[in-house]
Structure 1
């Protein structure tokens, strides 16, 4: 049943967010910049261990040409498509492949990925399409990536205790 009683709001609080500043819990628990720029986890592609970039700004999944070559993958050719790569740098995608992706101790996905030059030192980039479909959630506060069935993977470069306040 709907009520016609007016809703009373509490006083609004506003903050001007300046570059480099943080509020609330983050004031005492601010991780090093090197640990918060990107979300990287360890995983495996076709049983070969590697670092995997979880990119919330990407919509597609990409495997580097170099890594595809190391894995000896059979690539499917496509018409070259120009996409906006990391940092807005244009890159071209002209091939795809199917991979077995392992995250955590026992979560395996069969995933179609585009194959392209990603960036120096990055073998695998997983975008939001994968993260939504796979049920991935990221907790930057704790440095953890949660997968279905309560599987948790720690982000690369995070140590236990990084999320605990500094004295």
Structure 2
């Protein structure tokens, strides 16, 4: 899962990508040069990365930076310095999220920090998946979905409650699929609802 939040690195406000699929945290080389971050020398480690850019990337550079999320949570953290094509300057991976106690709450659109501090997620067109799975009708089925046997259709449900004029539908299986109105929120002419 990936989430984009507003934060700061060494007191410079930027967008930060929090990625549970990334094992390590990285900062772009150009952004590290711009901030003049303090590099950690003689740590004796190197990192090979696959999946960010085509091919294999290797780096031996690390930097100590101050990452600020929310208003009062600041972390001193070592991250790898490398040029990447993630679309942001800083990617925080699992090596940062677990010790910092960060949880992604995608239902509410927030990153939860310790002490239940909530950082709202930013919406980004670059991060939305362009792959659609199945035939989707956004907002629920607005028309009759004629579904042949042994096939399926997907639709997304809205986050807010449906209006009071919405019918509650129950579907039962018989020789033929017959939708039946079990209860309605509207009152008919005889006073029944």
Instruction: Give yes or no for TM over 0.5.
Output: yes
Q: How many residues align?
A: 128
Deviation at 1:50, TM superposition (A): 0.6
Contact kept? 2:2, 2:20, Cα under 8 Å? no
1:92 to 22, 35, 58: 58
Deviation at 1:153, TM superposition (A): 0.4
- 2:147 is matched with none
- 2:142 is matched with none
Tell me how large the CA RMSD over aligned residues is.
2.5
Tell me, yes or no, if structure 1 residue 141 matches structure 2 residue 107.
yes
List gaps (5 residues or longer) in structure 1: 1-36
The one of the two structures with greater contact order (alpha-carbon pairs below 8 A, sep at least 6) is 1
- 2:16 is matched with 52
Moved over 3 A (4+): 76-81, 162-167
Secondary structure, in 3 states, of the residue corresponding to 2:122? coil
What does 1:1-167 correspond to in 2, within 5 Å? 38-77=2-41, 80-86=46-52, 89-119=55-85, 121-157=87-123, 163-164=159-160
Contact kept? 1:143, 1:163, Cα under 8 Å? no
Deviation at 1:97, TM superposition (A): 0.5
TM (normalized to structure 1)? 0.67
TM (normalized to structure 2)? 0.59
Could you give the per-residue CA deviations for residues 111-166 of structure 1, whole angstroms, max 9, x where no partner exists? 010101121531111111211111111011111100001110011118xxx95468
List gaps (5 residues or longer) in structure 2: 125-157, 164-193
Secondary structure, in 3 states, of the residue corresponding to 1:86? coil
Secondary structure, in 3 states, of the residue corresponding to 2:76? strand
Query: Partners of 1:67 and 1:165 in 2: how far apart?
Result: 44
Secondary structure, in 3 states, of the residue corresponding to 1:131? helix
Query: As a proportion of its length, which structure holds more helix?
Result: 1
| Rg (Cα) greater in structure | 2
